[in-house]
Amino acid sequence: MKFAIITTSQHDEWLEALGKAYKYDFYHCPSYHALSIQDSSQEAVLIVCTEGPYTIAIPLILRPINEVEGLEEFSFRDATSVYGCVGPVASHEYIPESLITEFHGILYNFLKESNVVCAFSRLHPLLAQKQLLAGLGDIVYMGETVSVDLTLPVNEQWSGYRNNHQQGINRLRRMGVSCIHNNSDEYIDEFITIYLENMDRVNADDSYYFGENYFKGLIAADDLDIHLFSCIYEGEVVSSVIFGLCCDIVQAHLGGAKGKFVRHSPMKLIFDEARIWANGIGAHFFHLGGGLGAKEDSIFHFKAGFSGNRHDFYVWRLIVDRYVYDMLCKKKGQWNRENEQEPITKTFFPDYRCPTSPARQSSSQYNKFVLEGHGPKERGGCSV
Tell whether 293 is covered by a domain: no
**Do residues 164 and 279 share a domain?**
yes
Number of domains in the chain: 2
- Among residues 283, 301, 334, which one ends one of the domains? 283
Question: How does pLDDT run along the chain (384 residues), one tens digit per residue?
Answer: 899 999 999 999 999 999 999 999 999 999 999 999 966 799 999 999 999 999 999 999 999 999 999 999 999 999 999 999 999 999 999 999 999 999 999 999 999 999 999 999 999 999 999 999 999 999 999 999 999 999 999 999 999 999 999 999 999 999 999 999 988 878 999 999 999 998 888 777 676 778 889 999 999 999 999 999 999 999 999 999 999 999 999 999 999 999 889 999 999 999 999 999 999 999 999 999 998 777 788 889 999 999 999 999 999 999 999 999 999 999 999 999 999 999 988 889 999 999 998 987 544 444 444 443 444 444 434 445
- Cα 14 off chain centre by: 19
What range defines the domain where residue 31 resides?
Answer: 2-143+313-368
The Cα 199–Cα 179 span in angstroms is: 23
pLDDT at 307: 97
> Is residue 305 included in any domain, yes or no?
no
128 and 6 in a common domain: yes
| Secondary structure of residue 159 in the 3-state scheme | helix
Distance CA 112, CA 232 (A): 52
- Whether 301 is in a domain gets the answer no
Whether residue 290 lies inside any domain: the answer is no
**Whole-angstrom Cα distance, residue 59 to residue 82?**
9
Q: Is residue 302 part of a domain?
A: no
Q: Is residue 307 part of a domain?
A: no
d(CA 183, CA 229): 8
Residues 17 and 38 in one domain: yes
Is 118 part of a structural domain of the chain? yes
Q: Are 75 and 186 members of one domain?
A: no
What pTM, to 2 d.p., does this model score?
A: 0.91
What stretches of the chain show up as alpha helix (H) in DSSP? 11-18, 30-36, 97-113, 130-133, 154-159, 163-175, 185-201, 212-220, 267-280, 298-304, 322-338, 362-365
Cis peptide before 350 (omega within 30 of 0): yes
Q: Is residue 297 part of a domain?
A: no
CA distance 239 to 194: 7
Indicate the burial class of 194 (C-beta count within 10 angstroms; 0-12, 13-18, 19 or more).
Answer: buried
Same domain assignment for residues 6 and 132 = yes
CATH number at residue 89: 3.40.630.30
Distance of CA 316 to the CA centre of its chain: 14
